[in-house]
Structure 1
Amino acid sequence: MRNDHIRTELPGPKARAMIERDARVISPSYPRDYPFVMSHGRGTQVWDVDGNRFLDFAAGIAVCSTGHAHPQVVQAVKDAADQFLHISSDYWHEQMTGLGERLAKIAPMKGGEAMSFLCQSGTESVEAAIKLARYVTGRPRFIGFLGGFHGRSMGSLAFTSSKYTQQKGFFATMPGVTHVPYPNPYRPLFAGTDQGVAVLDYIRMLFERSVPAAEVAGILVEPIQGEGGYVVPPDSFLAGLRELCDEHGILLIFDEVQSGIGRSGRMFASQHWGVKPDIMTLAKGLGSGLPIGAMVASASLMSQWKRGAHGNTYGGNPLACAAANATIDLVAGGFADNAEQAGGYFTSKLRELMRDYACIGEVRGRGLMIGMELVESDPARTPARALCDAVITRAFHNGLLLLSCGTSTVRFMPPLNVERAEIDEAIALLRISLDEALAGTRG
C-alpha cells in the first residue's frame, strides 16, 4: 500500500518557498524534524500547502487532543471571540471561572478540593508549581528525574533532562534540583530488583547522604515519561513516591502536560494507579490547539498564596478557556474512552509488527500515548538512533506525521478521536517506512 494522496515531491514547490521565507525571519532554534508546511486539517488528517494529505499521528506534540478544527471547539472559540478577546487576569469572566470549576471537579488531588492557576503553556505551569511549592513549604530543594522534560524556561529547564540540547549554553539554571533515575523496566539501571523500588531506595539514600529531606519542597515527576521515551513506570512506583513524600512532608507534583486530558485513556495518567498529587501541571491537549496551561493544586495549598504572589497578563484568556472548556467536555464525553479502546487496538497492531521486525525492541504505553523503541540486533539492545530518525523521515514521505522521543523511540500520539481505519492506514504506512528505512541503513 502507498498513500496516493502524496501528489508532489516533498517538500513541494509552495512548501519550499515558505521554508525559504521562514529561514530569513524566524529563529533557527525550533527543532523542526522534516519539511511539513501545513495548509489545513480536519480530525486526524492534515494537508500541506501543495495539496498533499497526511495522517497526523503527532497531533502538534499531543496538543490537538480533539483533532484538527473540531467543530465544537471551533464554535466555542468563535462564540467567545464575538464577546471579547482579552480582559486580563486582573478581572473575572465566565470562561475563566467555568474552567476553574471544571478542573476542580475532575482533578484527582490529595485533599479533595482543588484550585487552578491559568497560564499559556506547560513550562509556565511548571514554573507556577515550583513557585507554589517553595512558597508554602519554605524549602529550597527539589527532586527531578533523568529523562524528564518539563519546559525550557529557567526554572523548568533545571528539571529538564531528556537530552542535553535544552541545557547546553544556559548554565546555570535554577539551583537546588537533584536528578535521580526514572524507573525503566525495559532498560533497568538496577540489577535483579523492581526498578521502582530501587529508585525509591536511591532517593532514600540521597536523603541520608547528600540531600536533607527536610529541605526538599517537592518531587516533580511525569506519571508516564514523555520526551524521555514514553516510559511507563512499574505499578508500585507512584504509590511509593506518595508514601515517601508523606513521610517527609514533601509535595508530590505530577507533570501531566503531555499525559493528561485523556491522552492515556483516563482523564489523567495518574488515575491508572490511583495516586493523588498535591500539585499537577497541565497544558498541551487542554486547549485542543489554543495556548493554555494550568497549575492545579489542593485548595489548602493554593489558598496560601497572597495577592500578587504570582500572576500573568494572559492567564485565563477567554478564547483559550473556551477551547479548554469544550475540550474537557469532549474528552469526558467519550474521547478518553476512545483513547483507551483505540490505543489498545493500535498497540496490538504494533506488537504484530514486532513479529516481522527484529528492530522493534518494545511497544509500550497507555491509551494513545504509545512508544515503539527501535534497537540494534545485539544482546545489549543498543538503541538504533539512526534507524529511528530514518523511520520518522520515511514516514513523512509516505504521508504519516510522527515524532521520536527518548534515544530511539518512535512515539504515536494521534488525536483522541482517531478511528480504527486511520490506525490501520497508519500501520500500513509504518510498515512501508520501516522497510525503506531498513533498506537505507543496510545500503
Structure 2
Amino acid sequence: MSKQQHSRTNATIVSQYEEYVMPIWKSLDVPLERAEGCTVQDFDGEEYLDAFSGIAVTNVGHRNERVVEAAKDQLNEFVHGCSYVHPNGPVGALGERLAEVTPGGLRKSFFCNSGTEAVEGAIKLARKYTGSKEVIAVEMGFHGRTLGSLALTGNRAYKSGMAPTINNVSHIAPPYGYRCTTCDSDSCPGTCANNLKRVIDSHTSGDIAAVVVEPVMGEGGIIVPPEGWLARLKEVVEEHDALLIADEVQTGYGRTGEFWGVDHFEVTPDIVTQAKGIANGLPLGAFTATEEVANAFEAGDHLSTFGGNPVACAAALATIDELQDGVIDNAAEQGEWLPERLSELEAKYDVVGQTRGLGLMQGVELVDPSATGPQGIAPAPDADLAKHVGKNLRERGIIVGVGGFHTNVMRIQPPLTISREQLERVVDALDAAIAEEA
C-alpha cells in the first residue's frame, strides 16, 4: 500500500470529491475503501452491513470470488479490442447464455455499458423495427438520465433544467395502489392498465413503437403492480402492433426472487433491458430481443466502443453461474421471510404507511399520519422522517437506500447472498430507528 493510501481518511476522500468531482454526488456518509460479501468498510475502519448493494448491483455479493477470478483470467488474456470490431469469446458466450435465460424467444443481445444506454438502444431498435416513433412510459418510473431515457423517466426531479429531451413520449398512470385515486391498495384490480388505451387515444397519433415499463418500479418507491396489470398492457401493446420493453435494469438477475421480474407475471416482453446486477459491479449493460426484432438493426445502426468489454462479459458469465448455483434460491427464501417481518412494522407504527416488494427488493413507505398527501390522499409522505431514519441506521452500522417518488421510502435491496441472521439485524435496526426518530 502506498503512502498516499495510508493517509486516506473519510475526510480526505470527501474533500477530494468536493474539490475535483462535479457536484452531482449524494453521499450516504460512508466513503468506501473495502467490501466483502454483504459488508463494507470506510476509510476510518468502520464496518457496515450493506442492505443497498450499490443500488441493487452486487447481487452475488461484494468481491464474489468466482466473479473476481473470471475477471482476472480475462485480464490476463486481453482487455479491449472493441467487441463489435473484434469478435471474442466472452461476448459470444454471454450472448448465448442470455438467449438461454431470458424469457420467451428473446435471442439476440446488444452489449453496452449501463442501464441508460440499454434503454436508449432498445428505443432505437423498437423504432427501427416498427417504423413508428412514439413511445409510452409510466409516471413515477425511472429509466436513466441521458436525454432519451430521461424523456421516459416520469419524475420532474430528474428533468429540472434539462429540457428538451427527445419528443414523442407520453406517460400512463403508475400501478401505485397505496396512493391510487380510483381504488384502495388492498383490492386494486389493476384497472389503471386501461389508462394505456386512453393515453394512446388522447395523447398520441396511435402509431406506437413501444411501451417501456419496469416490472417492479424501483426509484419510484418499490411499487409492485397488481395481478393482471402487466398482462393487460401487453394486450394493448399487441393491439397497436407495438413492442413491450421490460426495463429489468433493477429487477433482473435474481433481485425479485426470480431471474427476471416479469417471471412473476407470466408476460413475455419483446425486448428486455439489463444492467446493474448483470456483472456484479463491473460496467455492463445489455438489451435482448427476439431474432425478428433484433434483425431490424443493420451494420452501423448502433455501436459502442466499450460496450461488451470482454472483462465485464467474463464477470457476467460468472455472475449468472453464481445466481443459478443457489443465490437466486436464497433470494427467494429470504424474500418470503422479509415481507412478513416488515409487515410487523406496518402494524406497529402509524408512520409506516405500507411495506411492499418482491424477493429482496422491498420498500417501507414512511408517512405523516396527521397530514394529507398529494391529491388529497392521506397520509402524507414523510421525506424528513425517511432521511433521519436512514442516518440513524448508518449510525447503527446499516446501509439502506432512501428513495421513492416522494423520497419517503426505505429501500432494502441487499446482496442476494445475505443470510437470515444479517436480515434480522437489518429489520431490528430499522425497528429501533423508526422508534427513535418518529
Select which of 114, 125, 138 maps to 1:132.
Answer: 125
The reply to whether residue 328 of structure 1 matches residue 320 of structure 2 is yes
Partner of 1:385: 383
Distance in 2 (alpha carbons) for counterparts of 1:383 and 1:418: 29
Q: Secondary structure at the match of 2:180?
A: coil
Displacement of 1:196 in angstroms is 6.0
Distance in 2 (alpha carbons) for counterparts of 1:217 and 1:59: 34
Displacement of 1:428 in angstroms is 2.1
Partner of 2:393: 395
CA deviations on 1:156-208 (whole Å, 9 max, x unpaired) are 000112x3222011111000100111111111132479756432322222333
Distance in 2 (alpha carbons) for counterparts of 1:196 and 1:157: 30
Kept in 1: contact 2:366–2:386 (CA 8 A) = yes
For residues 309-324 of structure 1, the aligned pairs below 5 Å read: 309-324=301-316
For residues 321-360 of structure 1, the aligned pairs below 5 Å read: 321-360=313-352
Look up the equivalent residue of 1:384 and give its one-letter code.
D
Look up the equivalent residue of 1:98 and give its one-letter code.
A
Partner of 1:9: none
Distance in 2 (alpha carbons) for counterparts of 1:377 and 1:195: 22
Q: Secondary structure at the match of 1:158?
A: helix
Kept in 1: contact 2:190–2:227 (CA 8 A) = no
Partner of 2:418: 418
- What percentage of aligned pairs have identical amino acids? 37
Displacement of 1:426 in angstroms is 1.2
The reply to whether residue 74 of structure 1 matches residue 72 of structure 2 is no
Distance in 1 (alpha carbons) for counterparts of 2:72 and 2:190: 50
Distance in 1 (alpha carbons) for counterparts of 2:65 and 2:251: 24
Q: Secondary structure at the match of 1:243?
A: helix
Partner of 1:17: 12
Partner of 2:153: 160
Structure 1, gaps ≥5 residues long: 1-11, 439-443
Distance in 2 (alpha carbons) for counterparts of 1:436 and 1:413: 23
For residues 35-434 of structure 1, the aligned pairs below 5 Å read: 35-89=29-83, 90-109=85-104, 112-161=105-154, 163-191=155-183, 197-213=190-206, 215-378=207-370, 380-406=378-404, 407=406, 408-434=408-434
The TM-score normalised by the length of structure 2 is 0.93
Distance in 1 (alpha carbons) for counterparts of 2:111 and 2:232: 29
Look up the equivalent residue of 1:437 and give its one-letter code.
E
Look up the equivalent residue of 1:149 and give its one-letter code.
F
Distance in 2 (alpha carbons) for counterparts of 1:46 and 1:305: 42
Distance in 2 (alpha carbons) for counterparts of 1:29 and 1:421: 35
Q: Secondary structure at the match of 2:9?
A: helix
Distance in 2 (alpha carbons) for counterparts of 1:46 and 1:192: 40
Kept in 2: contact 1:283–1:293 (CA 8 A) = yes
Distance in 2 (alpha carbons) for counterparts of 1:121 and 1:401: 24
The alignment of Structure 1 onto Structure 2 pairs a total of residues equal to 422
Q: Secondary structure at the match of 1:65?
A: coil
Distance in 2 (alpha carbons) for counterparts of 1:121 and 1:209: 33
CA deviations on 1:42-67 (whole Å, 9 max, x unpaired) are 11011111110100001000000111
Displacement of 1:245 in angstroms is 1.0
Q: Secondary structure at the match of 1:431?
A: helix
The TM-score normalised by the length of structure 1 is 0.92
Distance in 1 (alpha carbons) for counterparts of 2:124 and 2:151: 13
Kept in 2: contact 1:57–1:400 (CA 8 A) = yes
Distance in 2 (alpha carbons) for counterparts of 1:236 and 1:428: 34
Look up the equivalent residue of 1:257 and give its one-letter code.
V
Q: Secondary structure at the match of 2:33?
A: strand
Displacement of 1:224 in angstroms is 0.5
Kept in 1: contact 2:355–2:362 (CA 8 A) = yes
Change (3 A) 1:326 1:293: same
Q: Secondary structure at the match of 2:353?
A: strand
Distance in 2 (alpha carbons) for counterparts of 1:351 and 1:13: 42
Distance in 2 (alpha carbons) for counterparts of 1:247 and 1:21: 54
Q: Secondary structure at the match of 1:280?
A: strand
Structure 2, gaps ≥5 residues long: 1-6, 373-377
Kept in 2: contact 1:66–1:416 (CA 8 A) = yes
Kept in 2: contact 1:230–1:405 (CA 8 A) = no
- Two-structure CA RMSD over aligned residues (Å): 1.6
Q: Secondary structure at the match of 2:34?
A: strand
